[in-house]
A and B are shown apart, each in its own frame.
Chain A
Amino acid sequence: MQKSKRISRRQMLKCSAKAVAAFTIVPRHVLGGAGHTPPSETFGGALIGCGGRGNGTFNDMGLNARKLAICDVKFLDKEDNQTVYTDYRRVLERKDIDVVAIATPPHWHALISIAAMEAGKDVLCEKPMTRFIAEGRAVAEAEKRYKRIFQVGTFGRFDVSRNPQNILTHKIMKSGLLKECKAVHIKRGGLKVKEWSGMVNVKPQPIPTYLDWDMYCGPAPLRPFHPHRFGGSHRGYWDYEGGGLADMGQHHFDPIQWIFAKDDTSPVEVEAYAPPAHPEACGMWGWVELKYADGLTFVMDSTEWPVPGKPSYDRKEPRDVSLSDLSEQDQEKIKQMPDPEPLVNFAEAVKTRKRAGGNADAAHRSATILHLANIAIRVGRKIKYDPVKDQIIGDEEANRLVNQPMRAPWHL
């Protein structure tokens, strides 16, 4: 029963022409329309990670998805393995689930996204997409291997990609006509540095009876339980995320990455101004400067350190890209260029099997911006990055943060 239903839905979505042809002979409640939802557009959904963002992420899918399963490591006292789970693997075994919303802490994002696609599900995953760089490449490989839909849970690029000025900048950058880019984008504030720092004096506490702490830690080291490592404030620990920079950064830089047409590459030089980092707790930093191979520069200025409320980056001024940066001949070429295709949202991507606008490759690149910034903060030295190999050049120890070992049985 499940098999035939699923095949029918997929086939129906692929064959819209047939559906249109059938319109005249099939009752309205079957095909949908105002007040009616056709079975072919009803999806079995699961929410994995039921904290503060859980329901919002599920709704962000924009689909008519029935929530058949919810899963969280804090459901030990109410799991029934029918609709309420603590182990996402049991959710993914279900054949009636088509789409999965993931709103766990980020150290689980990549592993669950990959596993969901291995199980044939489409995925909407909260930002930040990953905890470290190699995870992003692995998610992108899974997306291609299984031909599933992946969309990261930040949507600013959809808005900016409709703005004529942004489209012009995108076309200039995409054209490759600008040989040396002098543009500087500075993001001042908004990265919640202190708010999402970690505690350095946590004392172990008893694990709550409702919580599967081992499963919570998952691929990260199994630390003693402390409530600050869990339930939102997890953001302040390298084990689970990367502070406010990692948590807010993808919101800020994913749209900018689209505007500057950098979905297929990453910065090549990264430098940070910060005090020496703590081994476990994310902490204060002043600024990070990231340069692409063509000269384009992104800057994050925390405005929280060393002096709270004051910017600390003074190397460069913000600068845009404009047509006047090009010769008259090249300006004409830009005017002749077609606009980029509109970005496809998650719901449309699931239905049409077109790639989502915030797909795994693009999301991997915008997450890499954040991870490189955090690596520069953590190692306290300038790093050079190879965006093709996804490796830091000539710095073995820094590279260990690009692809971090996982605690078994978890691995990429």
Chain B
Amino acid sequence: MAKKRQDIATLVNKLPDPDEHGLLSVIDKEVVENVIDELRRGGPVRQAQGQLRSLRALIDMLAVPGEGEDFNPPDVRRIKARYAIHVWAVKVCQNAEKDRRLFATTLASQLGGDRPKPVQEFLIQQLQVAGHQEVVPALGKLLCDDELCDAAAMALVAIGTGAAEQLRAALPKAKGRCRLIILQNLGVVRDHGAIDALREAAHDQDRENRVAAIWALANIGDSQSVDLLLEAADKSQGWERIKATKACLLLAENLMTAGKKTEAKKIYSHLADTRTGHEQYIREAAESPPPPKGGG
């Protein structure tokens, strides 16, 4: 096994070295592609499950940024293993579904364990490139991890399918920054199943949570939240008022697009009637809104 890993390291070391400024300015396309193709074939010693073994060997080489000097040559751990995994991630997205799935599930299997969090974060970011629904449960488990919830949420919403269920399930347990991230991304994925929780969060003690929840309800287009959003916009000041008012206009546009004209007009009428002085531009926006998307 150690011999195998050294073979993989020797292969990875063929990837280009950074120049004196740290740039990959001297880089041969064919060399890089050949190294990655060779890795995907299992490396120099082609064994059963070679692809899986070389991928795991690469993951083992990953170092926390700033570390990795304990390897000879150090650039393999610090730089080249990262580059190799990323190029691999991009390659398997090109007409190689079986390989892509193997790549994604292998990376996902390394999450949640003892690997350093920055290494796990890098793996999550590669799943944002190449992961599909098969890695969604593994990402969902990280949504309450203070150090990984940002990356996990970004990967989940990039993947899309299945993200809403994971975000919704994690919300009751999430605290602090993780809670904010989940509230916002429930809006990004337009999760109708989270509307009750978002309405509750619209009254949160934390300003950022309130703003995120109100925007999420608007982006989902929840017709039952018209009064809640108008009240939030009327009562708040400063930045929160700006964002709550934007949420009102966004909700009105989404309601118009959904054919719910009565609810949309209630928002527009209220803003037109109440916004004066330095908020006159809001009145003007409410009086002549953009046409519904899709002509609906």
Contact = CB atoms under 8 A, between A and B. Distances in A.
B87 interface: yes
Interface string A194-225: 10011111111000000000000000011010
B125 A279 contact: yes
A236 to B, nearest CB: 8
A404 interface: yes
A274 to B, nearest CB: 7
A120 B241 CA distance: 12
A interface: dominant SS: loop
Contacts of A118: 242-243, 245-246
B150 interface: yes
Interface string B233-259: 000001100110110010001000000
Contact of A407 (B36, B154, B281, B290): B154
Contacts of A400: 128-129, 158
A200 B22 contact: yes
Nearest to A273: B29
Contact of B83 (A119, A141, A278): A278
A1 B296 CA distance: 42
> Which of B82, B155, B278, B279 gathers most chain A CB within 10 Å?
B278
A397 interface: yes
B31 to A, nearest CB: 9
Given A199-B23, A405-B153, A279 B126 contact: yes
A200 B19 CA distance: 10
Interface in A221-254: 221-222, 224, 228, 236
Contacts of B245: 118
A24 interface: no
Nearest to B32: A276
A134 to B, nearest CB: 11
B23 A89 contact: no
B236 to A, nearest CB: 11
Given A145-B289, A200-B24, A221-B125, A119 B242 contact: yes
B200 interface: no
Interface stretch (A2-10, A25-33, A291-299): A2-10
B93 interface: yes
B27 A408 contact: no
Contacts of B239: 89-90, 92-93
B97 to A, nearest CB: 11
B278 A120 contact: yes
Nearest to A407: B150
A201 B246 CA distance: 42
A404 B151 CA distance: 12
B280 A7 contact: yes
B90 A378 contact: yes
Interface stretch (B107-115, B179-187, B221-229): B179-187
A115 B83 CA distance: 36
Interface in B75-91: 75, 78-79, 82-83, 86-87, 90-91
Interface string A162-205: 00000000000000000000000000000000100111111110
Contacts of B36: 276
> Which of A228, A396, A408 gathers most chain B CB within 10 Å?
A408
B17 to A, nearest CB: 9
Contacts of B150: 221-222, 407-408
Given A141-B290, A145-B285, A202 B65 contact: yes
Contacts of B27: 275, 283-284, 305
B175 to A, nearest CB: 14
A387 interface: no
A380 B69 CA distance: 31
B267 interface: no
A405 B280 CA distance: 33
A204 B67 CA distance: 10
Contacts of B284: 147
Nearest to B86: A279
B65 A224 contact: yes
A191 to B, nearest CB: 14
B29 A275 contact: yes
A147 B253 CA distance: 15
Given A144-B290, A200-B79, A283-B24, A411 B188 contact: yes
Nearest to B179: A408
Nearest to A193: B25
A197 B25 contact: yes
B24 A281 contact: yes
Given A276-B36, A277-B90, 11 more contacts: A3-B278, A146-B285, A201-B22, A203-B66, A274-B29, A275-B28, A276-B90, A276-B91, A379-B90, A408-B181, A408-B212
Q: Which 4 A-B pairs have the closest CB atoms?
A: A199-B22, A3-B277, A405-B154, A279-B86
